[in-house]
Structure 1
Amino acid sequence: MTTERMLTMANQIADFFRSFPHEEAVAGVAQHVRQFWDPRMRRKLLEHLDAGGEGFDPLVREAAARLRQPA
């Protein structure tokens, strides 16, 4: 998966949850990524964030902090 495709997918998830209350939106993004993305995709997301996270929606950035914690 390219970085561009990963960014698009992550930001689309954030767009879906944007209408939820903020805390629910962050939790929803994290839960979706945890449930539906395979470990390689999650690792790529976290690596991109570690490199600055250019292009990620703020909801994705917040949700990523939860992805670093055990489920």
Structure 2
Amino acid sequence: MDHEHLIDMANQIGAFFESMPDRDEALAGIADHIRRFWEPRMRRALLAALDDPSGEGAQRAAPVVRDAIAAHRASLVPAVASA
């Protein structure tokens, strides 16, 4: 999965919600949008890109996106399917 494209998409979502006057509401909105509309493998790939110390993911992501992920990470981690 193209991590750069995922980060660009997350940044677009972040740009929309960043205009909200309440920052906490904006961060929750970003996380909620990603949780509801991105499939689990997209969320896993985004989180991996942001966590990769050798990659540019964390630097490429907008500060509002990084803050949203940090504040709401638990809700973005896909549940593991049981066999």
Give the partner amino acid of 1:64.
Answer: I
Residue 16 (structure 1) aligned with residue 22 (structure 2)? no
Would the aligned equivalents of 1:10 and 1:60 in 2 still touch at CA under 8 Å?
A: yes
Decide which of 58, 64, 70 is 2:63's aligned counterpart: 58
Deviating above 3 A after TM superposition, structure 1's stretches of 4 or more consecutive aligned residues are: none
- For residues 24-68 of structure 1, give each alpha carbon's deviation from its aligned partner in whole angstroms, at most 9, with x where no partner exists: 110000000000000011001111111141200111111112132
Q: Distance in 2 between matches of 1:8 and 1:56?
A: 7
- How far 1:69 moved relative to its partner? 4.1
Task: Give unmatched runs, 5+ long, in structure 2.
Answer: 77-83
Q: TM-score, normalised on structure 1?
A: 0.87
Equivalences, count = 71
Q: Which has the larger radius of gyration?
A: 2
Q: TM-score, normalised on structure 2?
A: 0.75
Partner of 1:67: 73
Q: Percent identity?
A: 47
